[in-house]
Amino acid sequence: MATFLYRMGRTAFRRRWLVVLLWVALLGGLGAGAVSAPAAKDNGTSFMPGIEAQKAFDLIGQRFPGRDSNGANARVVFVAPKGEKITEGANRAAVDTLVKEAGDVSEVEQAVSPFAAGAVSKDATTAYAQVTYKVKAGDLTDADKSALEKLIDQARDSGLTVEAGGDALGSTPAAGGAAEGIGVALAAVVLLITFGSLAAAGLPLLTALIGVGVSMAAIMAFGSLFGLTATTGTLATMLGLAVGIDYALFVVSRYREERAAGRQPAEAAGIAAGTAGSAVVFAGLTVVIALAGLSVVGVPMLTKMGLCAAGAVVVAVLVALTLVPALLGMWPNATLSRKARRSKAGRGGGENGGSRWARFVLRRPVPVLLACVAGLGVLAIPAAHLELGMPGDEAKPTSTTERRAYDALAEGFGPGFNGPLTVVVDAKGASDAKGAAAAIVERIKDTKGVVSVSEPRFNEAGDTALFSAVPSTGPSAEATKSLVQHIRAERPATEKETGATFEVTGSTAMNIDVAQALQDALVPYLVVIVGLALILLLLVFRSLLVPVKAAFGFLLSVLASLGAVVAVFQWGWGASLIGVEQTGPIMSLMPIFLVGIVFGLAMDYEVFLVARMREAYTHGESAPNAVVSGFRHSARVVVAAAVIMIAVFSGFIGAGESMIKTIGFGLAIAVLFDAFVVRMALVPAVLALLGERAWWLPGWLGRVLPRVDVEGTGLRAEDDDERVREAETVRV
């Protein structure tokens, strides 16, 4: 491995112009394809096949074809002034005017009056009108939206409180905006401080942006073929930028180190690609395993996001192994600090902050280990109280009209009105379909926790009925989950009595089922990615205990980060400091999402740091000295890489959407725990206690495992041969 990458790095360095032109041509070709490619269409793929709510939703689509419009919708909520009723003359006239004029808007399919649909609260203070569009929310123009917004403003001028829910006027989640830009700028500052060279700081940023550009252009170019959208590529952009900077950072850092040791530029580039590049390859593989492993969860959208992000990581690895050495070849001295360019080359083997910290831990391994485990263990305690859900409008800031519409409906119609249950009755096996449906309606109506049910509506064949049931509690309440479970538990008795069966769906039931399915998938997912990664790390380090220690540290950091997410976003501790206005259940996808990404990044730091220790150990240093050597050469760069990751992920905390805030916070805090607590403290403490046993491998297993030579043992012979060839060339 190291020898192959060494030759690749030297070739890229020497044929720099060809390599750069190939990458530019690839970016240009994919960019042109992305511009000309048709937009990906929604193929109607189920969100999560196999769960009851999805099966019921699919059944409705089969038995009630064309029941629901595929267009966008807006639920316009009207609240009368205090002491008045919405049904009174002037207030009613304002509502009727809005509904009539909204129906005349070109893209509106229909606007239903609350007075015609019975959508008025019992106290007559609140009402809502349903506005349905002919096109989907993403296809609505600004003019289409502004037409309804103007009508809402006119209704407000009459004295009514008017808000709008639904997806027609809903705000699109933003990934951090200016805050994300600040994160990238902070990454540039960290690189500049780390390297002391503008060129060395700019090169990782440049190559990472090129890699992200290639990845996103490919996603857009092939989007219509594979059903990929810009949303699918969000994770690819985030991770591609983060790992792209990190991978280039390690190659450039090793190049500078070899130049300081007196090696010629081409030779230094080859060794950097052979050693740091080997670590990049295996670190990238662990990230790819974690992302591709998302496919075991069973969510098509999550599978596509994971595979796209895995592709972006592969591109980042290829960029680090080829484009980075090529650019180093164009400016071989520019990436060196001024001090390095002015001074004589020499082996930088002196003490630095990394080696001093390693010696500190080696002298006190037990207290450091206990402090790490106890600290992360305490932070992980809230994770035991994790509640999953799919936050909707109730989690949005009160500054949004969707949130205010949600609150108005909850106050006027009850908290359960925002999350009604949809019940589909399959009466094909019943002798009296209408009688069976009526019996099921009555049974559910009499269930404790159900406020009201609607009249059943049959399909044309008369064998399937639909009705809704409104819970007494909100969509994300634990009592609502218990209600859904209770209704389903009564199904066998109902089926036996009526000969018909039923299924529960709707957004609330869907969220409950998704949360449970994802919770059930978490353990198999962990087994898959941890098992594959343990095998990979076994190959890299040729040790049994080092991979186990890596997995243990990861579990500590991910549980602590989940605990921090629960404390902030579910319990509200310090939530106001990052702009969280509403706490509640954590997004159902968050644990799987966090585990997958953090596992990949955690293994990144493990490979980068411990590979250097392994290299020192195989070259003759004792186990304790190898730990010190690894920290001397890698600690500063690992810390810089972690700070960059934290900066990039923290940019997402500035988003307006609670869901994106949660992702940004969770990833940033997980990197903080894993890099600075686990890798910088727990790892050297464990290795100090293990000593030589850390690198033990049974003889029979050592003979079976292939040698990948990540530590670059074969480079010495390659290096000597190259020196001889160059000397002979000079003599000729």
Tens digits of per-residue pLDDT, 321-330? Answer: 999 999 999 9
Place of tokens 């929604």: 42
Average pLDDT over residues 523-539: 83
pLDDT tens, position by position, 454-490: 989 999 889 999 999 999 998 888 899 999 999 999 8
Lowest mean pLDDT of 136-145, 211-220, 458-467, 502-511, name the range.
136-145
Q: Is the model's pLDDT at 44 over the cut of 60?
A: no
pLDDT tens, position by position, 387-442: 887 777 777 778 788 889 999 999 999 999 988 999 999 998 888 999 999 999 99
Q: Dihedral sign, CA of 609, 347, 328, 714?
A: negative
The two structure tokens encoding residue 300: 């098509």
118: left (phi over 0), alpha (psi -120 to 50) or beta: left
Average pLDDT over residues 580-605: 80
Indicate the SS3 state at residue 88: coil
Task: Label residue 347 by pLDDT band (50, 70, 90).
Answer: very low
What is the average pLDDT value for the chain, to the nearest integer? 85
More confident residue, 580 or 376: 376
In the chain, % of residues over pLDDT 90: 38
Using CB atoms within 10 Å of the CB of residue 225, give its burial: 0 to 12 exposed, 13 to 18 middle, 19+ buried.
exposed
Nearest Cα residue to 389 out of 582, 524, 526:
582
Q: Is the model's pLDDT at 289 over the cut of 70?
A: yes
Q: Is the model's pLDDT at 723 over the cut of 60?
A: no
pLDDT tens, position by position, 224-242: 777 776 667 777 887 888 8
Q: Which residues pair with 465 in a beta bridge?
A: 425, 458
Cα–Cα distance, 212 to 218 (Å, whole number):
10
pLDDT of residue 317: 95
CB-based contact 469:63 (threshold 8 Å) = no
pLDDT of residue 657: 66
pLDDT of residue 731: 47
Nearest 5°: phi and psi at 424? -110, 125
Q: Is the model's pLDDT at 178 over the cut of 60?
A: no
More confident residue, 14 or 717: 14
Lowest mean pLDDT of 79-93, 408-422, 637-651, name the range.
637-651
Using CB atoms within 10 Å of the CB of residue 245, give its burial: 0 to 12 exposed, 13 to 18 middle, 19+ buried.
buried
542: left (phi over 0), alpha (psi -120 to 50) or beta: left
In the chain, % of residues over pLDDT 70: 90
pLDDT of residue 466: 93
Task: Label residue 727 by pLDDT band (50, 70, 90).
Answer: very low
Cα–Cα distance, 294 to 311 (Å, whole number):
13
Mutual angle of helices 353-363 and 683-690, in 10-degree steps: 50
Task: Label residue 211 by pLDDT band (50, 70, 90).
Answer: very high
pLDDT of residue 1: 75
Following DSSP, what letter does each residue of 598-654 receive, concatenated? Answer: HHHHHHHHHHHHHHHHHHHHHTT--HHHHHHHHHHHHHHHHHHHHHHHHHHHHGGGG
128: left (phi over 0), alpha (psi -120 to 50) or beta: beta
pLDDT tens, position by position, 49-77: 778 898 998 898 888 876 655 678 899 99
- The DSSP letter of residue 56 is H
More confident residue, 549 or 530: 549
Amino acid letter at 588? S
Nearest Cα residue to 279 out of 532, 611, 630, 637:
611
Task: Label residue 41 by pLDDT band (50, 70, 90).
Answer: low
pLDDT of residue 724: 47
Cα–Cα distance, 216 to 309 (Å, whole number):
10
Lowest mean pLDDT of 13-22, 362-371, 475-484, 593-602, name the range.
593-602
Q: Is the model's pLDDT at 349 over the cut of 80?
A: no
Place of tokens 């809230």: 382
pLDDT of residue 90: 93
Average pLDDT over residues 645-654: 79
The two structure tokens encoding residue 126: 């609140």
Q: 582-593 as b/e, with b when 16 or more CB fall inside 10 Å?
A: bbbbbbbbbbbb
Task: Label residue 690 by pLDDT band (50, 70, 90).
Answer: very high
